[in-house]
Amino acid sequence: MGKTVFVFSGQGAQVPGMGKSLYENSPAAKAVFDMAESIRPGTIRQCFEGTKEELSVTINTQPCVFAVDLAAAAAVAEKGIRPDYVAGFSLGEIAAIAFAGMLSYEDAFKLVCRRAEVMDQAAKDNKGAMAAVLKLPPEKVEEICKGFEKAYPVNYNSPAQTVVAAAEDEIDALCAKVKEEKGKAVKLAVSGAFHSPFMNSASDALAEYLECVELKTPEIPVYSNYTAQPYEGSYKALIAAQVNNPVKWQTSVDNLILEGADRFIEVGVGKTLTGLIKKINTNVTAINIETKEGLDALN
């Protein structure tokens, strides 16, 4: 029998009204939202009633998406479905380590709030931009980036999608170069150049914060964005390194499939990871759970 993976959504998936259906129909999901609200008042309102603009501000996005991710996972687990592995995309990795028992939900939520603060500050101090590059292999994207002073591949999403981060004054030229090489570049509506050296100060600040945080051995194997392998060694170093290094999503999914995973359940907001997984391997099942209807259809 194949194995199941819970994959947790990342920043960028947020939409107004997210999580409301889960809150109203799952006691386990409601408990997660209530926990978040007790630590950061206003989180529930932002998720259910916040505007697109309000939700796109990093210090709001990360706590809210985390709450929805963890609530969705709790709701699925409430139905008796437990994963063999977990993985999260960027921010989603913090929800994954919480679900795997490495941190209490409360401590993980506090970590996310701090992560959002330091990444937001780094974005303000080091102006950068991001673009999704389509129709070109990762190797070609890496070659293009080497032609610029401050340009980096940062999200290896699928065989034909790699996200890049670059200095604000280089992003347009980089996109033009992509087009010249027969690819397509789409600038992303984000507030910073995440998962790149533009986030070095955020990584340092997060490492400092983690010095006072106790992490437990995961009860479920957690795949790291940084290594594309299960967490081992210094957990704190992996969490801190994740914010200023590339997300190796395609390799993580490939490695999970090699371990026998054939069902991926995206818990949280949207279908971004579901879509990427289907592009990485057409032989596995990938579904998303973010509403009561999705929960009811799950078996």
Helical H segments across 155-266, by residue range = 171-180, 200-210, 235-242, 249-258
Catalytic residue (one of 21, 195, 224, 252): 195
With beta carbons less than 8 A apart as the criterion, state whether 166 and 174 touch: yes
Of 185, 113, 108, 189, the C-alpha closest to 151 is 185
Could you write out the DSSP letters of every residue in 215-239?
Answer: -PPPSS-EE-TTTSSB--S-HHHHH
| Chain centroid, CA 1 distance in Å | 28
Q: Where are the beta strands (DSSP E) in the chain?
A: 3-8, 85-88, 128-134, 151-158, 161-167, 184-187, 222-223, 261-267, 285-289
- The pairing of strands 3-8 and 261-267 is parallel
Kindly report the number of other CB atoms within 10 A of residue 219's CB atom: 12
Catalytic residue (one of 21, 26, 90, 158): 90
State yes or no: is 224 an active-site residue.
no
Backbone phi and psi for residue 137, each to the nearest 5 degrees, phi listed first: -70, 155
State yes or no: is 195 an active-site residue.
yes
Which of 118-139 are b and which e, b meaning 16 or more Cβ less than 10 Å from the residue's Cβ? Answer: bbbbbbeebebbbbbbbebebe
| Tokens read off for 83 | 């994963």
User: Residue 289 forms beta bridges with which residues?
Assistant: 267
Q: Is 8 exposed, middle or buried (0-12, 13-18, 19+ CB in 10 A)?
A: buried
Of 276, 243, 266, 252, the C-alpha closest to 62 is 243
Q: Collapse the DSSP code of 94 into the 3-class scheme (helix H, G, I; strand E, B; otherwise coil) and give the result.
A: helix
By annotation, the residues acting in catalysis are 90, 195
